[in-house]
Structure 1
Amino acid sequence: MCFAFAFGAIYVPVVAHFLSPLSRILFSWGNFHLRAWRLNMLLNSTPGFIAIILMWILPETAKFLLSVGKEDRAYETLNRLCLKNRGKDLQSLGITGVFQADLPESSAKKRNFFESLWYDTVPLFKPPYLRNFLICTVILSGYFFVGNGIALWFMKLRQIMSDSNMIACDMIKYTKTTHSSSMCSQKTSNFIDGIVLGCVFLACCILISLLLICVRNSYIQLLYAIVATICGFSLNFLKLQLPILIAMVLFSSLLASSIPLISSVLCAVVPTHLRGMAINMSYLFARLSVVIASAIIGSCMVPYCLVTFNIFVLFTLAVAIFTCFLPKI
């Protein structure tokens, strides 16, 4: 299911690659109202509309409905599935109701909005869930900080890197000082690099699926974090375009592709009725970390390039260390 993120990472630069020459033609026609950027927005918005429709149609799981005290809706969901799969309703099979044996008694009580918000949030910051929740949140924030933070600026960083035999930071400083221009670049290689990033992201996801057959979740995360740390650190001395591209792509993709893994760990360490809030709280901090990462790259990458890259390397190393404390699932 998580391959969809990788396909999206490939789809967007592919569309931009083919619309780049079209945009120059359309913008040269002064009275032509259909612009390439509008077509680009339309193509990129279509998957979002499809997702909204699917989210509206698909029901909540019966286990979740039971965990929040909605036994009638859980029964209706299971009855609808039974009719589709077996052509019979539950009543004809002698099933008149459903329940969850290990459901905490207090979770089935009906509450107003504020009571539910309090009940779903406070337990996450108390034992026995506090330790695992904080570890997962720190790791998830690290994945977003490095993986998504660099991915957001990847095209721009590649654009301002020259073809000189220098390390990445020297390329960035050299290009910025000698070719200062406010115009957006439309070089084909920029989009190709973005497609490479998406393809490597997809390859990392496929490798995770294969490794999960025989390797623990936490071990895969530790392996990916260690390799990403090495790739990030290597940017301090790599001098050729191809090795720099490979290191940057792996540095971002390995951590970004690990996001579903830590999300599944978080779901496993909290009970059903707390999973929704646990995921939301963790992703809240994780997305905040992306904002911080983007601000750091945008303001510090050119004047303090080596320091900026190594900040991200240190965050990756911290993620690897915290991964050692994850439950072995």
Structure 2
Amino acid sequence: MSDSYRVSEHPEGDIELKKVRDYSSGDKPSELKSADEEVDLERAIELTGFGWYHIGLIAICGGILVATVCETMGMSFVHPAAQCDLALTTVKKGYLSGAMFLGIVVSANAWGFFADTFGRKKVLLISTIGTWAFSFMSSFSPTTNLFIVLRFLTGLFCSNQSTVYAYITEFLPTSKRASIITWTCGFMAIGYLLIPGLAWLLIPLEVNWDLGFVVYTSWRVYLAAIGSLSFATGFLLPFFPESPKFLMSVGRKREALNVLRLVYNRNSGNSNVEYPVKNLKSDVHDTPGHVTTALSFTLQGLFKLMWHQTATLFRPPYGWTTLLFCLIQFGICVTSMGMYIWIPNLLNMIKSGAGIGATICELVLANQANLTLNSASESADCSSLIRSEVYTSTLVTGVFSVVAFGTLGGLVAILRKKTVLVSALFLSGIAGFGNYFATNEITVAVLISVSVAVAGSCSTVSNTIAVEVYPTNLRAMAVSLAFTIGRLGIALAGNTIGILIESYCDFTLIGLGCVTLLCSLLCILLPE
């Protein structure tokens, strides 16, 4: 660690500069010429250091990401478990799958706008509590239609992932930003472990609580448990301040300085008054014009302002970059999270398939033939049993996700982010192609998990680059827009991949590999 200067005040009012330890990157001394020197925000953040405050920030932001993953992807276990209680047909399962993501797509851009206009912390607090409230209510749904409506409303509030990226970025020293964001987003891999873990723990339980209007069964307990993660993060958020960069962007310099003093205090253990920065320099790129101008707080005024801010992302100098981020996020989400929905079915099919030497497509054909032969003799009794193989197969992908996020988190700290992104997507694409040719059960399981897990972790690296490209007053909106397009990809893939694999298996598997490789090529065009 290097030395920097701190300010201490004598009773007489004199100011003395004393050396203190620099708790940031530790590479070079961070000295101020005088106590009254105006310091730009990036340097001021560096002088807060890196310590316990940031560890807490990583934990709360990581927790929000875990809750988001569990809320969106955890429904894959609700579908089979609830099919008897709610008389779910295949069509209704499709509606239920799409309802959540439709809500996310509809609201994601709006949440980004609100985060850039009213503050990151406010948006995160409202969205996490709203997600929990509607998710908890959905666990009491007595009918399918009400369940679909409540899952759509849950999705409306579950679009806060992009705001998390903007919020944590604006507290981090530049030297640690890329690696810390990637590590924080690695919490999502924990979500992929929690989903099958909680499902395996709760869904097999014999729960039948008759509440009069509904029988509360084990899958409802599982759904409520997933929603409680959002409540926990919403409960802890008030203990954290608003982003100093947002405060600067709306002209609240004094509040921004107080936040930086608080961060310094929690990181170093020193008093707030010992923070060496006394004056912050305004950044011309983060002017508060879009907020401090006379804003009509009517529905028409908000939509007009939202449209203006969205249109700005597609004008020079951001237009081409915004398009690239949207296309990359769409492709990544199709081949990772969209495919993830079908992993339990595919791996389970392989375990009960035609034996050694059969490819995935041959197993799909064999499975369809078996279903046709057995359809006449199948019992009419409804079964919501989920076999243990489904849980273990999904846990395998979760383990690969943890490894992928951890590896990329380490690589972006020592290599260029764009190099890591291009290389990882190329690896995922090759693994995707390998799925088509593999005939060994273990090889198929590993390749599917690698292609999905690596591509999914690349979404984080892409967002890491995005938050550094855009200024503060456009950052959350830009990431939200790419996030929205990505969720469109998930909704599309979640509703079509299963059908396409059954009807055009060869085309689908090769096509998914091509999409990932195309994303790898597009990443080469991203700005440094």
Offset, 1:160: 2.7
Residue in structure 2 matched with residue 149 of structure 1 by the alignment: 338
Change (3 A) 1:183 1:34: closer
| Contiguous gaps of at least 5 residues in structure 1 | none
Q: Secondary structure at the match of 2:448?
A: helix
Does 2:314 align with 1:131?
no
Give the SS at the match of 1:122.
helix
Q: Which residue of 1 aligns with 2:470?
A: 270
| One-letter amino acid matched to 1:47 | L
After superposition, the C-alpha distances for 1:224-243 in whole angstroms (9 at most, x for unaligned) are 11111111111222111100
1:173-200 C-alpha deviation (Å, 9 max, x unpaired): 2113204678555221211111110010
What corresponds to 1:195 in structure 2? 395
Give the C-alpha shift of residue 94 in structure 1: 8.7
Q: Which amino acid in 1 is paired with 2:202? A: L
**d(CA) in 2 for partners of 1:203, 1:209:** 10
1:89 shift after superposition: 5.0
Calculate the TM-score normalised by the size of structure 1.
Answer: 0.87
Q: Relative to total residues, which structure has the larger helix share, 1 or 2?
A: 1
Q: 1:66 aligns with which of 217, 242, 248?
A: 248
Match of 2:504 among 304, 324, 328: 304
Q: Which has the higher contact order (CA 8 A, sep 6+)?
A: 1
1:224 pairs with one of 424, 427, 438: 424
Aligned to 1:2: 185
CA contact (8 A) 1:107 1:273 kept: no
Q: What is the aligned residue count?
A: 322
Does residue 256 (structure 1) correspond to residue 456 (structure 2)? The answer is: yes
- Decide whether the 8 Å contact of 2:288 with 2:473 is kept in 1: no
Q: Distance in 2 between matches of 1:94 and 1:156?
A: 57
State whether structure 2 residue 262 is matched by structure 1 residue 77: no
Q: Does the aligned pair in 1 maintain the 2:310–2:477 contact within 8 Å? A: yes
Q: Give structure 2 stretches of 5+ with no counterpart.
A: 1-183, 296-301
Distance 1:295 1:191, change over 3 A: same
Higher strand share: 2
Q: How does 1:156-175 map to 2 (within 5 A)?
A: 156-161=345-350, 162-163=352-353, 164-165=355-356, 166-175=358-367
The residue identity in structure 2 corresponding to 1:324 is: I
Cα separation, partners in 2 of 1:322 and 1:187, compared to 1, 3 Å: same
Distance 1:146 1:220 in 2: 18
Aligned-residue offset at 1:38:
3.0
Report the 3-state secondary structure (helix = DSSP H, G, I; strand = E; otherwise coil) of the residue aligned with 1:64: helix
1:105-124 to 2 correspondences below 5 Å: 105=287, 107=289, 110-111=292-293, 112=295, 113-114=302-303, 116-124=305-313
* CA deviation after TM superposition for structure 1 residue 6, in Å: 0.6
Instruction: Quote how far apart the aligned CAs of 1:140 are.
Output: 1.3
Greater CA drift, 176-185 or 122-131 = 176-185
8 Å Cα contact 1:204/1:254 also seen in 2:
yes
SS in 2 for 1:254: helix
**Counterparts of 2:257 and 2:469, CA distance in 1:** 26
The yes-or-no answer on 1:19 pairing with 2:202 is yes
Q: What whole-Å deviation, never above 9, does each CA across 1:166-222 have from its counterpart, x for those lacking one?
A: 101111221132046785552212111111100100000111122123211111111
- The TM-score normalised by the length of structure 2 is 0.56
Aligned partner of 2:28 in structure 1 is none
